[in-house]
Structure 1
Amino acid sequence: MRALLVDPSAPGGLRLGDAPDPTPAPHQALVRVTATSLNYGEVKWGIEGAPEGTVLGWDAAGVVERAAADGSGPSAGTRVVTLGEAGGWAELRAVDTDLIGVVPEGADLGAISTVPVAGASALRALHRIGPLLGKRVMVTGATGGVGRYAVQLARQGGAEVIAVTRDPEAQGEELRRLGAHEVLASPADVGAPVDGVLDMVAGRQMVAAFDALAPRGTLVSVGHSGGDDARFEYGAFFGNEGRHDRSIVTFYLLGLPDLGRDLTWLAARVAAGDLDAGQTWRGAWEKAPEAVEGLLAGRLHGKAVLDIG
């Protein structure tokens, strides 16, 4: 099969080449991939840390070529969206059936390929905060793939949404269109305390966001695009002055159960137009280095989608 292979000497660290067809385990389906979406984490840390010739890729959408041997999961010919630790940047992918969502007929598989990491992370992180109706929820890194989905889902869940982004003047209109009530440059700029935070940035920004939490508020640490250390001052976790019971929760998507159900639900919402997939770049997979460069340079916000084959 053809695949994007890690190659440190190639532009963007990737080149098109040949790789062995995957051999599915009994609980895996073989999927012919139509489109994949790139995530900042896999292009920032995955490419540079993987051996030459590796086929990476967390997100992929396509059609089931061969159903799982154990009878689980969708049948051959079903349009699906898939999640995995690797293997999405190829014509064929073997994927666990509990990490497969079914896609409605007629849906754009490129748009649907943005769902797995970005959409499912946003959805499950919001679950960690609890019921959203009437709560104030802050989303840092709000213009990224996870952030955009989080703003939309929090608003649809009944929350008052505060979006944090580096350039509110340039990006504020788009974030308000997605559902943000307020757009700020820093968590420190928030007026009243918030009940929950979805933090995509970590480092100094996460510290400021934690300081903005109301009593019994929860910060869910989802990403770490900031690249700096989170250093809390002495006394930050004292329970006096009304700052009681605030929590920081860590997050690992692939450690959570029943993700196939989430992928199916999110794919249906994107297909119906209830969620904006946030495609800001799309092209053939031969142009992958262009998308990688744009993501790493911070020029691409939202999702970059590669059409496979």
Structure 2
Amino acid sequence: MRALLADRSTPAGLRLAEAPEPDPAPHQAVIRTAATSLNFGEVRHGLAGAPDGAVLGWDVAGVVERAAADGSGPAVGTPVVALADGGAWAELCAVDTDVTGEVPGDADLGAVSTVPVAGASALRALHRLGPILGRRVLVTGATGGVGRYAVQLARLGGAHVIASTGNPAAHGDGLRALGAHEVVAGPAALDAPVDGVVDMVGGSQLVDAYERLGERGTLVAVGHATGQGESFPFGALFGDQGRHDRSLTTFFLPACTGLGPDLTWLASRVAAGELDPQISWRGSWHQAAEATGALLERRLHGKAVLDIG
């Protein structure tokens, strides 16, 4: 099969070449990949640390080529979307059936390929906040792939959605079109406490967002785009003055159980047009260097999709 292989001898660190086909475990199905979407973490950190010849990739959408030997998961010929433990940047990918969702037959698999990391991270982070109907929810880093899904899903859940971005003038209209009621330049610009935060930024912005939590509020730390640590000033963790019972929780998508039904639900919403995958770059995997370069240089807001084959 063909695959995008890690290769430090090339400017982009990738080359399209032949690779061994996957050898699936009994609980894994083999998917013939139609499309994959790229994530900053796998491009910036995964590719940098991968040995030459490795096949990376987390988001995969395609059709089941070989069903799981243990009888779990979808049958041969079923359109699916899955969260891969690497290997999605290839014509064939082995995936665990419990992180595989079924896709409507008429769906655009390129659009659906944005669901596993971005869509599922946003959905599960919002679940950590508890019921959000009528509550004020802040989404930081709202112009990224996870952030854009979080804004839409929070609005669907009945929240008053506040989107935070470094450039409200440039991105405000787009975020309001996705469902944001307010667009702010950062947590410090909030005029009232919030009940929940989905944070994709980390660093000092996470500290500011935590300070804006009201009583019994929760902050879910999903992303760490700044690459900086968090330093809380003395008093930030006091419980008086309306700060009682606030919490900060960490998040790791592969540790979440039962993702298969979530992926099925998200894929159906994308296929129905109820969720916009916000694809800002799409092209052939022959153009992978262009896509990864745009991601690393922070020129993309939303998702980048590679069509495979």
Which TM bucket (shorter chain)? over 0.9
| Structure-to-structure mapping, 1:62-77, within 5 angstroms | 62-77=62-77
Q: Deviations over 1:196-249 (max 9, x none)?
A: 000001011101110110011000000011111111112211112221111000
Q: Deviations over 1:232-288 (max 9, x none)?
A: 112211112221111000001111111000000000000000000111000000111
Counterpart in the other structure of 1:110 = 110
| Structure-to-structure mapping, 1:111-126, within 5 angstroms | 111-126=111-126
Q: Secondary structure at the match of 1:138?
A: strand
Counterpart in the other structure of 1:55 = 55
Counterpart in the other structure of 1:179 = 179
Q: Residue 85 of structure 2 contacts residue 95 of structure 2 at CA under 8 Å; is this kept in 1?
A: no
Q: Secondary structure at the match of 1:12?
A: coil
Q: Secondary structure at the match of 2:224?
A: coil
Q: Deviations over 1:49-107 (max 9, x none)?
A: 11111100000100000100110000000000011220100000011000110000111
Q: Deviations over 1:104-158 (max 9, x none)?
A: 0111000000000000000000000001100000000001010000000000100
Counterpart in the other structure of 2:16 = 16
Counterpart in the other structure of 1:305 = 305
Q: Distance in 2 between matches of 1:167 and 1:253?
A: 28
Identity over aligned residues, as a percent?
A: 68
Counterpart in the other structure of 1:160 = 160
Q: Distance in 1 between matches of 2:289 and 2:160?
A: 38
Q: Distance in 1 between matches of 2:11 and 2:110?
A: 23
What TM-score do the two structures reach when normalised by structure 1? Answer: 0.99
Q: Residue 84 of structure 2 contacts residue 94 of structure 2 at CA under 8 Å; is this kept in 1?
A: no
Q: Distance in 2 between matches of 1:242 and 1:57?
A: 44
Residue 213 of structure 1 pairs with residue 180 of structure 2: no
Q: Distance in 2 between matches of 1:229 and 1:249?
A: 15
Q: Distance in 1 between matches of 2:189 and 2:80?
A: 42
Bigger shift: residues 174-183 or 7-16: 7-16
Gaps of 5+ in 2: none
Counterpart in the other structure of 2:197 = 197
Q: Secondary structure at the match of 1:131?
A: coil
Gaps of 5+ in 1: none
Q: Distance in 2 between matches of 1:209 and 1:153?
A: 20
Q: Distance in 2 between matches of 1:15 and 1:220?
A: 37
| Structure-to-structure mapping, 1:272-287, within 5 angstroms | 272-287=272-287
Q: Secondary structure at the match of 1:299?
A: coil
Cα RMSD (Å) of the superposition?
Answer: 0.7
Counterpart in the other structure of 1:127 = 127
Q: Distance in 1 between matches of 2:165 and 2:5?
A: 33
The runs of 4+ residues in structure 1 deviating greater than 3 Å are none
Letter in 2 for 1:43: V
Bigger shift: residues 254-263 or 227-236: 227-236
Task: Give the Å deviation of 1:300.
Answer: 0.3
What TM-score do the two structures reach when normalised by structure 2? Answer: 0.99
Counterpart in the other structure of 1:42 = 42
How many correspondences in the alignment? 309
Q: Secondary structure at the match of 2:15?
A: strand
Counterpart in the other structure of 2:7 = 7
Residue 140 of structure 1 pairs with residue 140 of structure 2: yes
